[in-house]
Amino acid sequence: MTVKVYIPSTFRRLTDNREHVEVEGNCVADVLESLEAAYPGFGELVFDQDRNVPRHINIFVNNQEIHDLNGTATPVVDGDQVAVIPALAGGVHHGQQ
Amino acid sequence: MVSSNGTSGSASGPASGALTPEEVMRYSRHIIMPQVGSEGQRKLRNAKVLVVGAGGLGGPVALYLALAGVGTIGITEFDVVDLSNLQRQILHQTPDIDKPKLQSAKESLYAYNPHVQVVEHPMPITSDNAMDIIPNYDIVVNGADNFATRYLVNDACYLAGKTLVDGAILLFDGQLTVYKPGFGCYRCLYPDPPPPGLVPSCAEAGVLGAITGIVGSMQATEVFKQILNIGEPMVNRLLLIDALSMQFREMKLRRDPSCPLCGDNPTVTELIDYDAFCGSPPLEMPAPATAGASH
């Protein structure tokens, strides 16, 4: 299955500044692994040491959070839209924006 | 006069009653709309809104609240204006460099509208003072630039039963949502903060100045909708703003039954040590008129 993945600008440095990339997979876990294989460094963002998706990153399939579906086992089909969205706060400074 | 909880002034708000002729003229473009009217304008005047931070996001939020005549605008801020702020922080101008941002913000807001009351909270919002400050307001708007403050404000708003209008920015991206107690919270969306240093700051990665205006204006819009009880609030919805493609994507959010704060069996029932939770360094207040940048 070929799915279209939306890459936010915070991750786009890893995808040659491409907003969307197309990868293969039958489920969300496959999609993430395909992204890792195609774009070096991506795996470090979307997998923690135990190969789980870190809890500051949300994966959406067709605009629905995968926790509401079947997690990384959520199946995908041709044409599905996947988005990988990190928490944003701006940063590490302890003041206020 | 600054009280022990860091509050300068009070959140009691301007007097209620009929709109004055000057107010009717000033707010006529709002009042003429049936969704606002005189009654709505009085609701705005009686509203008390807390803005966390007077920088990139808090600036446009506070500005539009003031322009619209939101009667009481509280601001928490302890930083000073830095030259690098002026690319995006619209409440501050070149002559304000080295001034406390709170002072600069207050002067700007009063210049735009002397009828509103700006309540100063000249210190960082912390676990020690959040529950002294937040319950005094109807709605809270988050413009914090760090995860520790974001989790703190989220938790305090939920525990105080206050709606939180949340916005975040980095590079060309923005995020917007509204957390209403009982309908999910920041912890439902992001249960854990990223490891320290993983998500770059605006100083490290950059931020488009205008995206702060886009997201901040949207946050102010959500505040108005809450006060006026109109439209469809961004509750259970996350708006992703991509300024490069100028695409807006809406994601569905939900309350997580296993959320430690607002879930079925909560374990976070009071404010915690958010620096420890986020692994961030201890908070250091900058010395007045000397300290560094925010974003």
ipTM for this prediction: 0.90
Residue B265 C-alpha, separation from nearest chain A C-alpha, in angstroms: 18
Select from B274, B24, B254 the least CA-distant residue to B153.
B274
Helices (H), B86-177: 101-112, 130-133, 147-160
Q: Return the pLDDT at B143.
A: 85
Q: Return the pLDDT at B9.
A: 42
Phi, psi of A73 (to 5 degrees): -85, 0
pTM of the model: 0.91
Q: Do B196 and A96 make contact, defined as CB atoms within 8 angstroms?
A: no
Cβ pair B65, B73 in contact under 8 A: yes
Helices (H), B69-127: 101-112
Which residues in chain B land under pLDDT 50?
1-15, 287-295
In the numeric block, which tokens belong to residue B220? 């102010």
Chain B residues whose beta carbon lies within 8 Å of the beta carbon of residue A89: 144-147, 149-150, 168, 199
Out of B145, B199, B251, closest to residue A86 by CB? B199
Q: Return the pLDDT at B279.
A: 85
Select from B75, B71, B44 the least CA-distant residue to B225.
B44
Cβ pair B48, B71 in contact under 8 A: yes
**pLDDT band of A97, cuts 50, 70, 90:** very low
Task: Round to whole Å and give the CA distance between B120 and B193.
Answer: 29
Torsion of CA A90, B105, B215, B183, to 10 degrees: 80
A3 has a pLDDT exceeding 70: yes
B136 contacts: CB under 8 Å, gap ≥ 6 = B7, B11, B48, B50, B74
